[in-house]
Structure 1
Amino acid sequence: MLDRRYQTLIALAKYHSFTKTAQKLYITQPAVSQQIASLEEELDFALVIRDHGKIHLTPAGEKLAQFATQIEFEGTKVIDSLRNNVEHLKMGCTLSLSSTILPKFVQQLSTRTNIVTTKINNTQHILQNIRDGKVDFGLIEGNFNKKEFDAFLLQKEHFIGVGHNKYRCDSIENLFNQPLLLREKGSGSREIFENWLATQNYNINDFKNTIEIASPSAIIEYLKQNDGISFMYESLVVNELKTEQLKKLDLTGFHVEHPINLVFLKNSYFKNIYQEIVESV
């Protein structure tokens, strides 16, 4: 759908090399230079900075490439939907939400489309998947750049500390000697906990023993069988709290509620569809 020059700009933004861009697009390097120069002349502003053999896009070039990328994959989605009369929704979801919110979304989406694809990963991976057009939207509890993404609020979740029933403490300082189980970097739940620690003038390194585990369910199982603490959404451990397999840590000053959002690219053509989905779930 896009002018070939914009497709070249998208590739150049990705590879930062005239040579590699030419190889990927199966055209000559002079052709890449000519197309970018033609686009700059037409727009009357610079898109590329050449610095001692290295290529950098100007801020305007980066923004234009990002906008062109969005038009490219959203345009393709619209045409495919019209041509095949089949709506194909690709959804991303963070690991922390995959066992709580995701099932009802899959159930609801299956009533309106023949194909539902779901990718499960941490917050940063899902956001990158949205940028790359690998998913249309994501169910995310972590933070995101509101200049780049738009969102609809799904609900708010209580974020709590949990551990073995034997723990009797009212301050985070008293837990520094306990094993801390936390998600990998890029996880929304880890970011929420780290941000709260910072408000108390602490950080992860204040804990003497930290264990990174990518799976929330694996963290829960570990805590049920071993000493340790972790911080996660209360909805993940409702049964464990009821059966007293785990205990909610009553920490002074720790009252965290975080929004769960359906996140998508800013100015998306499909914004109304995403709103309909949120309202129907």
Structure 2
Amino acid sequence: MNLKQLEAFVNVAEKRSFSKAARELYLTQPTVSAHVSALEKELNIKLFLRNTREVGLTDEGEKLYQYARQMLNLEQLIYEAFDSDVASNSCIKIAASTIPAQYLLPDILSRYSSMYPKEQFELVESDSAGVIRAVSERTVDIGFTGTILDKKSCEYVPFFDDELIIVMPNNEKYRQIKETETGIEWLERVPIIMREQGSGTRKEAEKQLKREGIDIRKLNVVANMENTEVIKQSVKKGIGVTIISKLAAAEDLKWENVLAYPLGEKKRVRKLYVVYNKEYPRTKAVKKMMKIAETFKSELE
């Protein structure tokens, strides 16, 4: 077993394709297949389940992947410790939940690319639970998330204050609600579209509703959706109201496509976080990314 074999295996696992892994590593597909076959023979296990469209990990493959990914991360840290040229052309792996990924990271990554043009990054979008799991399992270097989950290996650093608001269709019924209502008890009388379970937005919305005395079980939740843009389109079509980031609704509010209503008497703000695995040394790339996020925060304050 050697690092070249593990690198080939990890790339196939992450890209779910031998051909894509070969392109990533600048190898031929038979060479990648040979590396994987050598591992399977040495360990006497089957690593992948293959079909006509993609490959997936077996249970044994999942177990090996966790160890192999950590070994490759440690290899990168060794290069960085000795200022190797390999480290200067590194690829930072990022996981981000919906709101940071779609509305904040484009600016942060643009600054990163301008400052470090030789460095690459790879971005995966997930819900907050998936982001934190990826950071905890070290399948990514850094995460951006909208909530904190109990993972002892994870350190959370706030970088943005995000306000959650109620977003409503811009029609006569909801214009009247906006003009006449003073609380949010009316939410129990209207259809509501929620983010999916595992979403940081949903977790924080439910937390804030409870603070306002709303019994979540009494809400008429007509749909659970993963995509914020689909949710906004559904609100515009009159399917229901939703609770989302003011940042995500800004453009539609500007053009009066939807209406905004405060989530309670007080302004309700949640923190968005940079998250990293504190059980491993942060790479130089992670430190630089965090520094840019910190600067981004100070500019907005």
* Pairing 1:131–2:136 present: yes
In structure 2, what is the Cα distance between the partners aligned to 1:266 and 1:25? 35
| 1:238 has 2:250 as partner | yes
Alpha-carbon deviation of 1:95? 1.1
Q: Percent sequence identity over matched residues? A: 18
- How far the C-alpha of 1:148 sits from its partner, in A, is 2.6
Per-residue Cα deviation, 1:32-78 (whole angstroms, up to 9, x for no partner): xxxxxxxxxxxxxxxxxxxxxxxxxxxxxxxxxx9x99964541322
Distance 1:280 1:200, change over 3 A: closer
Coordinate RMSD, CA, aligned? 2.9
Q: How many residues align?
A: 222
Cα distance in 2, alignment partners of residues 240 and 135 from structure 1: 33
| Matched AA of 2:221 | N
Q: Within 2, Cα distance between the matches of 1:141 and 1:118?
A: 16
What are structure 1's unaligned runs of at least 5 residues?
Answer: 1-22, 29-65
Q: Which moved more, 1:236-245 or 1:262-271?
A: 262-271
Query: Which residue number in structure 1 is paired with residue 226 of structure 2?
Result: 214
Contact 2:210 2:216 in 1 (8 A): no
User: Given residue 126 of structure 1, which amino acid in structure 2 is its aligned partner?
Assistant: V
Separation in 1, partners of 2:169, 2:266: 18
Please tell me whether residue 162 in structure 1 is matched to residue 174 in structure 2: no
Matches within 5 A, 1:193-204: 193-204=205-216
Query: Partner of 2:125 in structure 1?
Result: 120
Find out whether 1:175 has 2:187 as its counterpart.
yes
Residues 153-190 of structure 1: per-residue CA shift (max 9 Å, x gap): 21211111111233213333212121111111100000
Q: Could you tell me how far 1:269 is from its partner in structure 2? A: 1.3
Give, as a single letter, the amino acid of the residue that structure 2 aligns with 1:176: E
Relative to structure 1, the CA distance from residue 204 to residue 72 in structure 2 (aligned partners, 3 Å threshold; closer, same or farther) is: farther
TM-score by length of 2: 0.65
Q: Distance in 1 between matches of 2:166 and 2:239?
A: 14
* Residue equivalent to 2:197: 185
Q: Is contact 2:148–2:156 with CA below 8 Å preserved after alignment?
A: no
CA distance in 1 between partners of 2:248 and 2:237 (Å)? 17
Query: How many Å apart are 1:201 and its aligned residue?
Result: 4.4
- CA distance in structure 1 between the partners assigned to 2:220 and 2:158 by the alignment: 37
Deviates most, 160-169 or 266-275: 266-275
Q: Tell me if the contact between 1:161 and 1:248 (Cα under 8 Å) persists in the aligned partners.
A: yes
Instruction: Tell me if structure 2 keeps the 8 A contact 1:73–1:133.
Output: no
Q: Which deviations, in whole Å up to 9, do the C-alpha atoms of 1:182-241 show, x marking residues without a partner? A: 111100000001112233444432112331010001101111111411111101111211
2:154 is aligned with 1:149: yes
Q: CA 1:269/1:172 → structure 2, altered by over 3 Å: closer, same or farther? A: same
Q: TM-score, normalised by structure 1?
A: 0.69
1:72-119 per-position Cα deviation (integer Å, ceiling 9, x unaligned):
454132246636241211111111222210101221222324311000
Kept in 1, the 8 Å contact 2:143–2:274? The answer is yes
Partner of 1:78: 77
2:104 maps to what in 1? Answer: 101
Q: Is the 8 A contact 2:165 2:263 kept in 1?
A: no
Q: 1:200 to 1:273 in 2, by over 3 A?
A: same
CA contact 2:154–2:275 (8 Å) conserved in 1 = yes
Q: Secondary structure at the match of 1:180?
A: strand
Q: 1:200 to 1:251 in 2, by over 3 A?
A: closer
Alpha-carbon deviation of 1:27? 5.3
Quote how far apart the aligned CAs of 1:247 are.
1.0
In the other structure, the counterpart of 1:277 is: 292
**Matches of 1:194 and 1:69 in 2, distance apart?**
38
SS at match of 1:249: strand
Hey, what's the Cα distance between the residues in 2 that align with 1:95 and 1:261? 13
Match of 2:220, SS? coil
Secondary structure, in 3 states, of the residue corresponding to 1:133?
coil
Structure in which a larger fraction of residues adopt helix:
2
The alpha-carbon distance between structure 1 residues 127 and 146, as it changes in their structure 2 partners (threshold 3 A), is closer
Q: Distance in 1 between matches of 2:154 and 2:226?
A: 25
Which amino acid in structure 1 is aligned with residue 75 of structure 2? T
Distance 1:144 1:25, change over 3 A: farther
